[in-house]
Amino acid sequence: AQTVTQSQPEMSVQEAETVTLSCTYDTSENNYYLFWYKQPPSRQMILVIRQEAYKQQNATENRFSVNFQKAAKSFSLKISDSQLGDTAMYFCAFMKHGGGGFKTIFGAGTRLFVKA
Amino acid sequence: KAGVTQTPRYLIKTRGQQVTLSCSPISGHRSVSWYQQTPGQGLQFLFEYFSETQRNKGNFPGRFSGRQFSNSRSEMNVSTLELGDSALYLCASSFGGGLETHSYEQYFGPGTRLTVT
C-alpha cells in the first residue's frame, strides 16, 4: 500500500524568506502523480503544484517549486519570497492510476505560518 | 467557469440516522472523488466515480456508499451514523484521465461539515 509522510507538523517562516516543506512516499508503482495542495484556514483546498513521475524535470509554478527525487521517493516543496497569504495547511498527495481510475493518498499535512 | 459545489455546507445529525451529501462537479468533469477529513485521521479517500461507475474505493465500511448521475453530479450516503463519522467531507472533480491536458488534476469543493451527536 502507498503511504505519504510529511515529517514536519508545523513550520514558520518570515515574510519574503524561503521555506521548504518535506514529503516522502512509499510505492512500488512506476507511473503516478504527485501534488502539493494548500488549505488556508476555513477555506477551500487548492492545487499548488503537480509533478508527473515520468518527468525528470522539477515542476515550478511562480514562487513554488518542487525537488522531485524519484529514486529516493522524495517530493519537497519550496516556497520562495513567502507571503502572508501563504499561511495554510499544506498537503502532499500521491495519486496512482489503477483499476481504470484514480486513488489519492494524502500526507498528514504541514501547517505553515508566515510571519510579518 | 463555476467551481465544485457541495450541499449542504453544514449538517447536524444524531447517531443512527442516515445522511446524503451532494457534489456538483465543474462543467465537463466526469470524475468525482470523495474524501473524509478529520483531525485525527487526516484526509482519507472514500471512493471515485467516473461516468456513473465506481472505479476505486478506499477502506471504509459499507455504511458509506455513493453514486453518480448521468450529469456527473454525485451523492454520498452514510447510513447508521456514528459519532466518529463527524468530519469534513470533501469532493473533488477532474476530467478523469482522458485526453485533456492534466486530466487527472482534481479541483476541490468547499466541503460539507457533518456533526453527529
Residues B10, B112 contacting (CB under 8 angstroms): yes
Give A-chain residues touching B36 at CB under 8 angstroms.
none
CA separation for the pair B68, B50 (Å, rounded): 8
Query: Is the model's pLDDT at B99 over the cut of 70?
Result: no
Most B CBs within 10 Å, among A43, A104, A105, A111, to test the B interface: A104
Quick check: A109 and B48 CB within 8 A?
A: no
**pLDDT tens-digit profile of B40-59?**
899 999 999 999 999 989 99
Sign of CA dihedral B63, B41, B34, B114: positive
pLDDT along chain A (116 residues), means of 10: 92 97 93 93 90 90 96 97 97 83 91 96
Among candidates A33, A46, A103 on the partner chain, residue whose Cβ is nearest the Cβ of B45: A103
Q: Provide the pLDDT for residue A99.
A: 62
Residue with cell 459499507: B62
What pLDDT does B44 receive?
95
pLDDT of residue A29: 85
pLDDT of res. A43: 82
Instruction: Please give the grid coordinates belonging to residue B106.
Output: 482534481
* % of chain B at pLDDT higher than 70: 96
